[in-house]
Amino acid sequence: MPEPIYEKGWEGARMAIYKAAAYVPIACITSRNETNTTNTSQKTNVCTEGKTVTKANSISRSVSIEGEIVDAGSYEDLKTAQDSLAEQTFRIYKGTGVTTPLYFKGIITELSADWDASTEDSNATFSMTIDVNGDYETVDPNAAP
């Protein structure tokens, strides 16, 4: 039996958000969690002989990201993007030395930051959740045709 191949982490991953015709660095990612939920509907009636029938309607995806804030403007850029209530385009490099990024569109649904006051040497961190619209792409959706 062959040895299992395990999915590797994203060491050195980094993220940017599309703003004013360019990608602006936001963070060095320290952890990432993806959730995929099947949205269903149920019905019970005489045609189903009183049994509940469940139908899959769609998939909802969200990604939760934690990271170190790149600079003072990065968190403000994220707050502005969330305040706009609009879909944003994100670019992620999955690790150190990875040259092909992934792109995805989504809406920031949760955003928080932490500034450690115990030492000036600590970096500010943030966490956010993005409801993903569509799939991850390898082609920049904002690139000129």
Kindly report, residue by residue over 19-44, the tens digit of the pLDDT.
Answer: 989 999 998 999 989 999 999 999 99
- The domain spanning residue 31 has which CATH number? 2.40.30
Q: Give me the amino acid identity at 35.
A: T
**What is the rounded average pLDDT of the residues 89-94?**
93
Has residue 88 been placed in a domain?
A: yes
pLDDT for the residue numbered 20: 87
pLDDT for the residue numbered 6: 67
Domain count, the chain: 1
Instruction: Name which residue leads in pLDDT, 10 or 62.
Output: 62
pLDDT band at 61, cuts 50/70/90? very high
Has residue 144 been placed in a domain?
A: no
Q: Which among 66, 56, 58, 23 has a CA at the least distance from the CA of 134?
A: 58
Q: What mean pLDDT, rounded, does the chain reach? A: 89
Has residue 92 been placed in a domain?
A: yes
pLDDT for the residue numbered 54: 93
pLDDT band at 129, cuts 50/70/90? very high
Instruction: Name which residue leads in pLDDT, 136 or 2.
Output: 136
Has residue 61 been placed in a domain?
A: yes
**HEC assignment per residue over 20-64:** CCEEEEEEEEEEEEEEEEEEEEEECCHHHCCCCEEEEEEEEEEEE
Has residue 96 been placed in a domain?
A: yes
Q: Which domain holds residue 42?
A: 14-137
- Say what percent of the chain tops pLDDT 70: 99
**In the Cβ-directed half-sphere of 67, how many Cα atoms lie within 13 Å?**
27
What count of residues does the chain have? 145
What 3-state class would DSSP assign to 133? strand
